Amino acid sequence: MTRWRITVEYDGTGFVGWQRQENGPSIQEALESAIERFSGETPRVFGAGRTDAGVHASGQVAHFDLEKATGAATVADALNAHLRPDPIAVLDAAAVEPTFDARISARQRAYLYRIVNRRAPLTTDRDRAWPVQTPLDARAMNEAAARLVGKHDFSTFRASLCQARSPIKTLDVLDVAREGEEIRIEVRARSFLHRQVRNIVGTLKLVGEGRWSADDVTAALEARDRSKGGPTAPACGLFLTEVLY
């Protein structure tokens, strides 16, 4: 038995999300099917981040166990061959210690949220960024973002369906930077509440539009009440970019 760690990239547009569900195709199911077609075995695949429907990944990490003896390059190439034509790619595969757990062993998860801030609709970036027409002040967004860095009760930014035991999380990084017409929001933490990143981005957009101040963000955080936060930003702008162990 070998435990395999894989790094996975995907375009989440046509999927119900990472997690296997009855109502449509998931990334997990596509990977498990590819593993079965390659090996004849039916291990469960465990991912570091349970991305929602429409959320993308450039650096998701997952693990699974195989009886079959094989090499790392073969695992990656065979899975990629069996994943076609789904927009899911195994970037890397490695044999790891049997104690490695993609979800539990993770020290830090990194997400990127992309906003394209212009009047014209998207073409080549459609479904891979949030198009926002109102001019956004990225500097003001970045200043307000600093209010959320550190250890806080994030109930204001937590989806009602969130199953985490505690609403207390520690944001290591929350940076907002403009690159031309694109606004890139980088966020890093050991773990996140359900929809935390998208709820934070929807709130920072209010700041970018000048409708909210940084103090309003602090007040919303301190209210510990989802109804005091901004709206949820759409899934299409979100990318799981890296998981550190």
Q: In angstroms, what is the minimal distance from the CB of 125 to a copy of itself?
A: 9
Name which of residues 19 to 78 contact a copy of itself (CB under 8 A). Answer: 56, 58, 76-77
What is the C-alpha R_g of the chain?
A: 19
Smaller CB separation from a copy of itself, 120 or 161: 120
The end-to-end CA distance of the chain, in Å, is 22
Among 123, 160, 163, 166, binds a copy of itself (CB under 8 A): 123
Tell me whether residue 86 is one of the annotated catalytic residues.
no
Using CB under 8 A as the binding rule, whether residue 109 contacts a copy of itself is answered as: no
- Which span sits near a copy of itself by CB under 8 A: 7-15, 61-69, 191-199, 204-212? 7-15
Smaller CB separation from a copy of itself, 73 or 146: 73
Name which of residues 177 to 236 contact a copy of itself (CB under 8 A). Answer: none
Using CB under 8 A as the binding rule, whether residue 80 contacts a copy of itself is answered as: yes
Residues making contact with a copy of itself (CB under 8 A): 9-11, 56, 58, 76-77, 80, 83-84, 87-91, 118-124, 126, 128
Active-site positions read 52
